[in-house]
Amino acid sequence: MIGRLNHVAIVVPDLAAAANTYANTLGAQVSEPLELPDHGVTTVFVELPNTKIELLHPLGEGSPIGKFLEKNPSGGMHHVCYEVEDILAARDRLLEEGARILGDGEPKTGAHGKPVLFLHPKDFCGTLVEIEQV
Ligand code: CO
């Protein structure tokens, strides 16, 4: 069912420093910071030949990644995102398999303007999983 790895998201305490690490130490192509107020994050996209890394930093009050950064002050991997062709079909299959969908179970528009859902980490090897319809 799942297709390509769309991105790995990493929460960072200092976005400029993280962008610099990826651009200069690792020699990757990085974007300018992009504020996504609806999602409570500022993000820098790292373009790799086969996928993306998204560096995330909290934006505004009540950011969904604020608590994560409190618990992981030096940052850390936040989620992986797999592509699916049909998010509603994917959701129904996951529910049938006993997996838990976070939130109300209805897809939301994600950071790339496409429908996404998040799956409970306890059902997926301790990793928060995002699925995105592409
Ligand atoms: Co994501």
Ligand 1 centroid, distance to 24 Cα (angstroms): 24
Residue 121: predicted pLDDT: 97
Local structure of 112: helix, strand or coil = coil
Ligand 1 centroid, distance to 4 Cα (angstroms): 13
Own/partner pairs for 108-117, CB < 8 Å, 24+ apart? 110/39, 111/36, 111/39, 111/41, 111/43, 111/54, 115/87, 116/81, 116/87, 117/87, 117/90, 117/91
Ligand 1 centroid, distance to 79 Cα (angstroms): 7
Tens-place pLDDT, residues 18-31: 999 999 999 999 99
CATH code, 5-133: 3.10.180.10
pLDDT at 90 exceeding the cut of 90: yes
Ligand 1 centroid, distance to 52 Cα (angstroms): 10
Tens-place pLDDT, residues 22-74: 999 999 999 999 999 989 999 999 999 999 999 999 999 999 999 999 999 99
Ligand 1 centroid, distance to 98 Cα (angstroms): 22
Residue 109: predicted pLDDT: 92
The predicted model scores a pTM of 0.94
Report DSSP state, residue 117. E
Per-domain residue ranges of the chain: 5-133
Q: Which residues surround ligand 1, an ion (CB under 5 A)?
A: 9, 81, 130
Q: Which of 54, 83, 130, 132 is catalytic?
A: 130
Residue 111: predicted pLDDT: 86
Q: How far is Cα 55 from Cα 85, in angstroms, rounded to an integer? A: 25
Residue 54 among the catalytic residues: no
